[in-house]
Amino acid sequence: MAAPCPPPPPDPQFVLRGTQSPVHALHFWEGAQAQGHPVLFSGQGRDLKLCLWDLAEGRNAVVDSVRLESVGFCRSSILAGGQPRWMLAVPGKGGDEVQILEMPSKTSVCALKPKADAKLGMPMCLRLWQADCNPRPLLLAGYEDGSVALWDVSEQKVCSHIACHEEPVMDLDFDSQKARGISGSAGKALAVWSLDGQQALQVRGTHELTNPGIAEITIRPDRKILATAGWDHRIRVFHWRTMQPLAVLAFHSAAVQCVAFAADGLLAAGSKDQRISLWSLYPRA
């Protein structure tokens, strides 16, 4: 290692307070890049509604909402490839289904239902993505039984399925360039897995954490580092390629529920303690 004595962990750059309620989701909105849809999805509430917000020019009005059919922890995932129409994955009815909607028409394209004997439990997290070489959209879903499944949306079948956690998968993120993803669970481990040419998932390694519980995992857009939001009030930063732990940021006094990276590398974390902390770590060159 370079320094014999590691530098002390940094302090947050800013602290945003005054939300008056726990923070559940965060998203950086780069105004210049948004293409006609300056919208933010709020996590679905207990009112079984997924809302679309208009944020342009400082507005904050609900423009539309999607009616959901299940109450769960699962966040939805969108795939907006620059087309006027885009795809939305939301947890569907029956507890174990994922529903794919076409937006903004809200047409239900299909429902991804695991085989009856699979016993995956509820979907806990979803990630829609599309490989560059392949026009067919794929969906990565983490399930309650600790497994991660790769769905081919158009064929409505599971391409690959691996069990990588003991506890329910809480969040996952996928790096489509390296074909590598990471998932965190309610347990004490992070799992790194990869996708090979035959679209088969393989566990590459696990990383033990000090305290159990990961609420969200986000890989920085430049794919150099990743951050996890921990139930242990701490944000952990790892080197994405080597999974070397880089920092443990202890600032919040309650569970951290979401982390997000801005395009310029700024890290934001929202916590149950009603504060949002902003950190500048390993600035992008």
> What DSSP state is assigned to residue 37?
-
Q: Which is nearer to other proteins, 144 or 273 (CB)?
A: 273
Report yes or no: 211 and 204 within 8 Å, Cβ to Cβ: no
116 near other proteins, rule: CB under 8 A: no
| Min CB(102)–other proteins separation in Å | 30
Neighbours of 94 (CB within 10 A): 12
Residue placing its CB nearer to other proteins in the complex, 113 or 204: 204
**Alpha-carbon span 184 to 171, nearest angstrom:** 5
Which residue, among 207, 202, 217, 131, has the nearest Cα to 172 in the 3D structure?
Answer: 217
Sheet harboring 98-103: ordered strands across? 77-79, 86-91, 98-103, 107-112
Tell me, by CB under 8 A, how many residues bind other proteins.
Answer: 45
Instruction: Report if residue 278 touches other proteins, rule: CB under 8 A.
Output: no
Position 247 contacts other proteins (CB under 8 A) = yes
Residue 15 has phi, psi (to 5 degrees) of: -125, 125
From candidates 27, 85, 93, 178, binder to other proteins by CB under 8 A: 178
Q: Min. distance of Cβ 29 from other proteins in angstroms? A: 25
Between the alpha carbon of residue 157 and those of residues 80, 153, 226, the distances in Å are 22, 7, 30
Examine residue 256 and tell whether it contacts other proteins (CB under 8 A). no
Of the ranges 45-53, 83-91, 200-208, 262-270, which one interacts with other proteins (CB under 8 A)?
A: 200-208
What letter would DSSP give residue 36? S
Q: Given the complex with other proteins, which of 51 and 226 has the nearer CB atom?
A: 226
**Contact with other proteins (CB under 8 A) among 155, 166, 196, 264:** 196
Q: Is 145 within 8 Å of 114 (Cβ atoms)?
A: no
Out of 29, 93, 211, 221, the only residue in the binding site for other proteins (CB under 8 A) is 211
> Is residue 136 within the footprint of other proteins (CB under 8 A)?
no
Residue 224 in the binding site for other proteins (CB under 8 A): yes
Triad 124, 140, 192: Cα angle to 5°: 90
Residues 6+ apart with CB under 8 A from 144: 120, 121, 122, 123, 124, 168, 169
Instruction: Pick the binder of other proteins from 27, 155, 202, 263 (CB under 8 A).
Output: 202
Does residue 15 touch other proteins according to CB under 8 A? yes
Residue 162: closest CA among 140, 129, 134, 187: 140
Q: Which stretch in 20-28, 40-48, 119-127, 239-247 sits in contact with other proteins by CB under 8 A?
A: 239-247
Question: Does 159 engage in binding with other proteins (CB under 8 A)?
Answer: no
Which of the stretches 63-71, 138-146, 201-209, 256-264 binds other proteins when contact is defined by CB under 8 A? 201-209
Least distance from C-beta 228 to other proteins, angstroms? 12
Angle at CA 85, nearest 5°, toward 161 and 174?
Answer: 30
Cα 76 to Cα 142: distance, rounded to the nearest angstrom: 12
Site residues (vs other proteins, CB under 8 A): 1-3, 5-12, 15, 177-180, 192, 194, 196-197, 202, 204-205, 207, 210-211, 224-225, 232-234, 239, 241-248, 250-251, 253, 282, 285
